Structure 1
Amino acid sequence: KNLGLQGCATNLGISQQTLSRWQKELRETGDIEIRGSGNYASDEAKEIARLKRELRDAQDALEVLKKAINILGK
């Protein structure tokens, strides 16, 4: 089922404008700029939060690859 931009944005809990901007950035630059808006006590705390996000993303990607390998191996 094709949800369209608005349906996808609603499912993600973000505005259609944000999703549209991300889509445009990805098309133009091949990347999406991540803007941190949290309040951090220090630059170190902000860096720790960034590294935790990066680690979580890498772990998620690894899980997807494991599942793909498992499916392809059958």
Structure 2
Amino acid sequence: MSRKKTHHTKQFKLDAVNYHKEHPDLTQAECARNLGIGVSTLARWEAQFRDNDGDIPTIGSGCYESEEQREIARLKRELRDSQDALDVLKKAISILGKD
């Protein structure tokens, strides 16, 4: 039986990290169980929180705070795809140009 992947909002992730901080008497496993998430998930969010100066990135989750951010992400993907296609064409030209 496969599990459906749950996407949590950025706010939920931040709240989960803060919940563990606010309850030092609870273990990480107990906090995770109380929140209905896995221990490794909570540990990953806490590591991201530490590594990103109190922020948790939500890359690829589709959770955008505004339509502008959604459009920026779409344009960045489009630019990356165009650059990849250009790199392939450059490589093909260099290979064909050697003959």
So what's the TM-score if we normalise by structure 1?
0.50
> 5+ unaligned residues in a row in structure 1: which ranges?
1-35
Q: Flag as ranges the 4+ runs of structure 1 deviating above 3 A.
A: none
Report what 1:66 is aligned to. 90
Higher relative contact order (Cα pairs below 8 Å, separated by 6+ residues): 2
For 2:76, which of 46, 52, 56 is the aligned residue?
A: 52
Report what 1:3 is aligned to. none
Corresponding letter in the other structure for 2:76? K
Greater Rg over alpha carbons, structure: 2
Paired residue total: 39
* Identity score, percent: 79
Report what 1:18 is aligned to. none
Q: CA RMSD in A?
A: 1.3
So what's the TM-score if we normalise by structure 2?
0.38
SS in 1 for 2:85: helix
Cα distance in 2 between the residues matched to 1:41 and 1:55: 21
Cα distance in 2 between the residues matched to 1:45 and 1:61: 24
